[in-house]
Amino acid sequence: MRNKYTCVIGLEVHTQLLTESKAFSFSSTNFGDNPNHNTDPVTLGLPGSLPVLNKKLVEYAIKVGLATNCKIREINRFDRKNYFYPDMPKGYQISQHEGPICYDGNVEIELEGERKQIGITRIHMEEDSGKSIHDLDIDTLLDFNRAGVALIEIVTEPVIRSSAEAYQFLTQLKQILLYTGVSSGNMEEGALRCDANVSVMPVGTEVFGTKSEVKNLNSFRNVEKAIEYEINRQIELIESGGKVIQETRMWDGGKNITVAMRTKETARDYRYFPEADLPMLKISQDMIDGIKAELPEMPLERKYRLQNDYDIPLYDAGIIVEDIDLANYFEKTCSLLEEKSPKSYKLVSNWIMTELLRIKSEQDLAIIDLPLSEEFLAEIVDLLISEKISNQIAKDIFPIILDEKKSPKLIVNEKGLVQVNDTDLIESMAKKLVDDNPEEVERYKQGKDRVHGFFVGQIMKESKGKANPKLVSEIVKKYLDA
């Protein structure tokens, strides 16, 4: 049945911005403070209180707009979105309705090697609501710390055609938000919240079906699961002779289903009208140009540049650019290498992908807090490339580097760990080993290749791991083949 229908998906992503004060008041936005600690007359909607626009909200909205290839509206106004619910005490939310600050943009995603642009309909500024707490065995409680926090809402065009595309879009969007520094992107703290509009239509038609809006999506994987469920639910409903109705549904992560919440509101239900307490906002070209000049290279472009500039696999580049600090760490380390070559760059990538990310995960550290500086990693790679130490020695001294925060080159010199490249010494060790083990040599000549490894291991053991493994292997083979 699935191949008879085309899926039509649009996403609405609410993003809390990293402003120190709220969108229209001076209250703190610090997460985790005691309930109702970060409030003021504007937040609580007290009579006579007036909103004051936070300049950072405007700058951050423009920054995201430029990063997602949007046009920036010169003249902006704010509107009141009216609804009565306990978490919004003044009875309305300050938002933008018909004239969003950013519009007509796109975000490029990758899926199975293919690249696709997801259109951005609009990005508008607004304030967050408070938080209603229902899960206690008492009456509903209200926390207004979040009320008034600066938000942008990013709305896509209905061009997403699968749950996998939706997942990739959210992943790419979060990277953009992190690269621009406007949001933490932390879904657990409510900094990123997504609603999905889902509908289906018969293949070959152009008229969209009736959509359902799915809420309560607290992770990217849940977005993917909820969209899959909703697509299948709608198709089964249509195939059985039923009719999809426009409604808001909630994702139940425990049961992995969507459940009906209410029939869908329309703009008329919210009775939008201009916010009379805020003047019109004019965005100058100088302001736009200044913000554009501060934009970093975006993650997808950086991924392909790292692959091209450093000749590392695209997979490695994709992992590295997931965190802007990690990407900066990689590039700085490469710039410090004595030998700048694809081989040394790949070694940097290997150590980052294995050791650094392991430490980051185990110790729950940010990249900038890792106990291995770019200078020390560059030294490790230089020691390996110049064959002054073996991989085994590098792994042996790695815990010492982390614990003592001491230069790898200094540790190698102090402990006398410089790799032995003396051909005559290794040849004498190999010759003696072959002479002392004629039975093993005979087994090798009969096709037992593992004997080669045995001899190499014996020499490495005798040299306490200092002998150059590559050189040992070549010399042992020469004597065994003689």
Per-residue buried b or exposed e for 115-124, using 16+ beta carbons within 10 Å of the residue's own CB: ebebbbbbbb
Of residues 274 and 472, the one with the higher pLDDT is 274
pLDDT in tens, 265-295: 555 677 899 999 999 999 999 999 999 999 9
pLDDT in tens, 69-91: 999 999 999 999 998 888 888 89
- Residue 185 CB: number of other CB atoms within 10 A? 18
Of residues 439 and 358, the one with the higher pLDDT is 358
Residue 265: what pLDDT? 59
* pTM of the predicted protein model: 0.85
Q: Where are the domains of the chain?
A: 2-291, 297-414, 423-481
- Residue 340 CB: number of other CB atoms within 10 A? 11
Alpha carbon distance 330, 377 (integer Å): 10
3-state secondary structure 41-52: CCCCCCCCCCCC
User: Residue 371 in 3-state DSSP?
Assistant: coil
Alpha carbon distance 49, 52 (integer Å): 10
Band (pLDDT 50/70/90 cuts) for residue 481 is: confident
**Which residue, 403, 313, 292, is CA-closest to 68?**
292
3-state secondary structure 394-457: HHHHHHHHHHHCCCHHHHHHHCCCCCECCHHHHHHHHHHHHHHCHHHHHHHHCCCCHHHHHHHH
For the domain made up of 423-481, give the CATH fold: Arc Repressor Mutant, subunit A (1.10.10)
- Residue 171 CB: number of other CB atoms within 10 A? 14
Residue 417: what pLDDT? 77
Per-residue buried b or exposed e for 130-143, using 16+ beta carbons within 10 Å of the residue's own CB: beeeeeeeeeeeeb
pLDDT in tens, 413-426: 888 777 666 576 67
Flag the least confident range among 176-190, 376-390, 468-482: 468-482
Residue 440: what pLDDT? 73
* pLDDT over 80 (residue 441): no
